[in-house]
Amino acid sequence: MPKKKIALPESPVKLKVHKGDTVEIIGGKDRGKRGAILAAFPKLNQVTVEGLNMMIRHRKERPSRKVTDSGQPEMVPGGRIEKEAPLNASKVMLVCPHCARPTRVGYAYKEGTEKLSHRKYRVCKHPDCGKNMDNK
């Protein structure tokens, strides 16, 4: 079967979720489950989530280059190797650390006159919450 081609975004996108964020998966077989972002790939618009969207690689037992004393090649054990597969970033929703609900992400700017005080931060879009989600 030909390998499915991944549509690459025209240019690297700024992901709304970052490494270490808790997200809820909103599509696919792990829908509704939550986990922490292990890695974010802005160039691919993808993320990997800890323990979710696992893929199983089957590896065959194969001989290695090492030779045992009896003259037989040593065997590398085969088996199933589980690994997190990357998910499209649109399939996950950031979970607000304040109200513990999945939320859309809004942006706001810190007020102040000092240098770096105008940095952008993410806010919860729930009208009854609206808290800063980057204030960790």
Q: Rule CB under 5 A: which residues touch Zn ion?
A: 96, 98-99, 124, 126, 129
Nearer to Zn ion, 25 or 96 (CB): 96
Choice between 28 and 97, CB closer to Zn ion: 97
Cβ atoms of 87 and 93 within 8 Å: the answer is no
Q: Which is nearer to Zn ion, 23 or 86 (CB)?
A: 23
CB of 24 to Zn ion, least distance (A): 13
- CB-based contact 31:21 (threshold 8 Å): no
Residue 132 Cβ, how far from Zn ion at the closest point, in Å?
10
67 token code pair: 């030779």
Q: How far is CA 105 from CA 81, 85, 135, in A?
A: 35, 24, 14
Of residues 96, 83, 85, the one with CA closest to residue 131: 96
Q: How far is the CB of 95 from Zn ion (least distance, A)?
A: 9
CB 87 within 8 A of CB 28: yes
Cβ-based nearer residue to Zn ion, 117 or 135: 135
Minimum CB–partner distance for residue 23 and Zn ion (Å)? 14
- Number of CB atoms found within 10 A of residue 22's CB: 18
Helix (H, G, I), strand (E, B) or coil at 9: coil
